[in-house]
A and B are shown apart, each in its own frame.
Chain A
Amino acid sequence: MPNTGKSTFFNRLTGSSSRVGNWPGVTVELLSARTILGNDAVEVVDLPGIYDLHGFSDDEQVVRSFLENNVVDQVVMILNASQLEHQLPLALQIYKLGMKPVLLVNMIDEADQLGIRIDAQALSKSLDCPVLPVSARNGTGLKEVRETLIEKLKSSQVLRPSELKAYLHADDELVAQAELLISRHVSSPSHLVRVMTERIDRVLLHPLFGLPLFFLAMFLVFQAVYTLGAPLQDAVAYLLELFRSWALEPLASVLPATLYGFLVDGLYDGIGTVASFVPVIILFFFLMAIIEDSGYLARAAYLTDALMARLGLDGRGFVMLLMGFGCNVPALMGTRVMRSRSLRLLSMLVIPFSLCSARLQVFIFITTALFTPKQAPVILFFMYMASFAAAFLTALLFGRRLKSDEPFVLELPPYRSPVLFQVLMRGWHEISHFLRRASTFIITGVVLVWWLTHYPEGATPGGEGTYASMLGAWLRPVLEPIGISAVMSVVLLFGFVAKEIVIGAIVAMTGLQGAALNSYLATQMDAVQAISFMLFILLYTPCLSTLATQLNESRSWQFATVSLAWSLGLAWIVSFGFYQGARLLGY
């Protein structure tokens, strides 16, 4: 079931960090983790939250095919204590398949506050399967869950659901059965009133002020990332510099000059500069996690749906765009909750234009180097606007070909205060994600760019005569009209793989840092060229992973090709228009 705290429970049980969001359908990949229960190691798989075993969305199909094709020892179902009447039918569907699920009635604290009383023992007897009240947020009841699972796994027989479809007709019976059970074992006040949620919604969903408040909130998030992130970034840079001068330089000084240049000025500084952005990114994801956990994203969907409907998308598409600000890849996977293929394809075409955190790094790097502290945030804001504009333009142009009649129905969860544990898990998740990327293609990219900009032997590093400048000359006919210099075009070439490489590559190829690097950049591009460069970075394909995800999720080469060609073409046209226009106006 979506919105029941399934991922929170999963994290509690396994100590792993799957993504958690107060938004139906966040868990779209099959996350699994190993944990010890009693004396055995077991593998726990976190399935997508669904409403129905035989629905038509990709999520529901994922669960169905998982249950059909995998040997499962024990099914654990997480239900929301205050919505049992909607959730028991699914439990009964599972039961009908011949699996005896362990039912966890989660958010029992929330139900308590609402005055809902559940007789778990009696319910357990009627259902003939364990029913345990828990609160995954506070961790209450988890000990009992572990004990029950250990007990169950001892006696469990491996389940192979033979005939799934045969069961799936007796639905109405199941609903009636569920209602009978509820009336016997659950007592709730005739009208549930969530005072806090309704009070907050009266302001945040206000017909006139709701949308402006939403944009204000988003603006504050980015402002906070920028103002809080900058000192953190300086601190990491300082520590890396300290390590360099105290340990790395004395140790590496025995090495020959070329190797020293490669290791210290190239690799260490290149990767170090990318790493100095990690605190900014973590901060960004902390704030996003707080917003996601709070339940505000579903409100964002409510507020923006009217606008998105005109673009042929819906409110969920807008939320995916917002999630894309973190990273495009999970946002693309999040579209699996959409049933209609054309709506999904349109959303997946639009998402790569949302300004992800990797591109944010490049923009912060370039704006701090080339613009005054007053200009920098304005230009950053302009980039976010350009990101939205490109997304909306794309939706408008392709929306006509990709029409859908997908119903827009979404659960509006009550507001919940974010759990620190979850938010911290999320930060750790981002660090490990960065380390994985850093250890693979960021290092490779930085090394390659260093080599291209320092060889053949005798060429001026980063200047004429290097392989890089030859490559740059070859790209000149395409990139000169948009104001991108030969050296920078090589950087763009590598940015295709991952945007983090762009910064690392600029540092590695110049061997410079700080003020010296800034003045070098100023020789490579003026303000107009810098903005044109950033617009190009914003719009052309975000990274190889995004492209691969588009291909995987759409299962269509044609779609991935169209998306790639469109984003490259749009990037070039927009940069060309901006650069030539600004030059014509005399800038």
Chain B
Amino acid sequence: MKQPEIDLTDLSRLRTGQAAHITGIHAPDDIRQRLQAMGLRTGREAQVIRCTRLGPMQIRVGSVDLIMRRRDAARVSIVAKK
């Protein structure tokens, strides 16, 4: 069987080095506003630079590096590149 080309999931499920396109943010208005203002916007590419089991993840969006908790990364839905 052939693997599907794309995979719909959320940002917290990516592993170190993987990149994906952001498709939306699922959070109350105020939190979404904040995440968007920091560069997490639909259509942009996000790459996981660093993640550990317990601590926050390091995400690169364009020229900005962000650190965010897995819990918050789970609010960002993505289309992962295979």
Contact = CB atoms under 8 A, between A and B. Distances in A.
Contacts of A413: 65
Nearest to B54: A306
Interface in B25-62: 27, 30-31, 33-41, 50, 52, 54-56, 58, 61-62
A417 to B, nearest CB: 18
Contacts of B66: 409-412
A55 B34 contact: yes
A192 interface: yes
A83 B34 contact: no
A315 B56 contact: yes
A314 B55 CA distance: 11
B55 A407 contact: no
Nearest to A205: B50
B69 A408 contact: yes
B68 A303 contact: no
Given A407-B72, A410-B67, A302 B35 contact: no
A103 to B, nearest CB: 17
Q: Which of B41, B69, B71 neighbours the largest number of chain A CB atoms within 10 Å of its CB?
A: B69
A302 B50 CA distance: 11
B56 A83 contact: no
Nearest to A407: B72
Nearest to B52: A207
A471 B35 CA distance: 57
B63 interface: yes
B34 A302 contact: no
Interface string A187-218: 01000100000000100010100000000000
A306 B72 CA distance: 14
Nearest to A198: B49
Contacts of A306: 52, 54-56
B64 interface: yes
Nearest to B58: A412
Contacts of B58: 205, 302, 412
A302 B49 CA distance: 13
A409 B62 contact: no
Interface string A270-309: 0000000000000000000000000000100111011001
A411 B65 contact: yes
Interface string B3-44: 000000000000000000000000100110111111111000
Contacts of B72: 407-409
Interface residues of B, number: 30
A302 B35 CA distance: 17
A82 B30 CA distance: 27
Contact of B63 (A188, A303, A315, A408): A188
A309 B34 CA distance: 20
Given A305-B56, A407-B31, A412-B58, A86 B68 contact: no
A476 B27 CA distance: 57
Interface residues of A, number: 35
B63 A192 contact: yes
A54 interface: yes
Interface in A369-416: 405, 407-414
A409 B55 contact: no
B69 A407 contact: yes
Contacts of A408: 56, 67-69, 72
Nearest to A56: B30
Contacts of A421: none
Nearest to B31: A407
Interface in A493-538: none
Nearest to A86: B39
Q: Which of A51, A192, A302, A409 neighbours the largest number of chain B CB atoms within 10 Å of its CB?
A: A409
B35 A407 contact: yes
A243 B36 CA distance: 61
Contact of B62 (A52, A54, A55, A83): A83
A411 B35 CA distance: 11
Given A305-B69, A407-B72, A408-B56, A86 B62 contact: yes
B77 to A, nearest CB: 15
A498 B65 CA distance: 41
Contact of A305 (B27, B30, B55, B75): B55
A164 interface: no
A82 B35 contact: no
A409 B34 contact: yes
Nearest to B72: A407
Contacts of B37: 51-52, 55
A301 B69 CA distance: 11
Contacts of A175: 41
A53 to B, nearest CB: 9
A409 B64 contact: no
A205 to B, nearest CB: 6
22 contacts: A51-B34, A51-B37, A52-B33, A54-B33, A55-B37, A86-B39, A86-B61, A192-B63, A205-B50, A302-B58, A305-B55, A305-B67, A315-B56, A407-B27, A407-B31, A407-B34, A407-B35, A407-B71, A408-B56, A409-B35, A411-B66, A412-B66
Given A52-B37, A305-B69, A411-B38, 7 more contacts: A54-B33, A55-B37, A56-B34, A303-B55, A305-B55, A411-B64, A414-B65
Q: Which 10 interchain pairs have the tightest Cβ spacing?
A: A52-B37, A51-B37, A306-B54, A412-B65, A407-B72, A409-B68, A306-B55, A56-B30, A86-B39, A408-B69
Interface of A: 51-52, 54-57, 82-83, 85-86, 175, 188, 192, 201, 205, 207, 298, 301-303, 305-306, 309, 314-315, 339, 405, 407-414
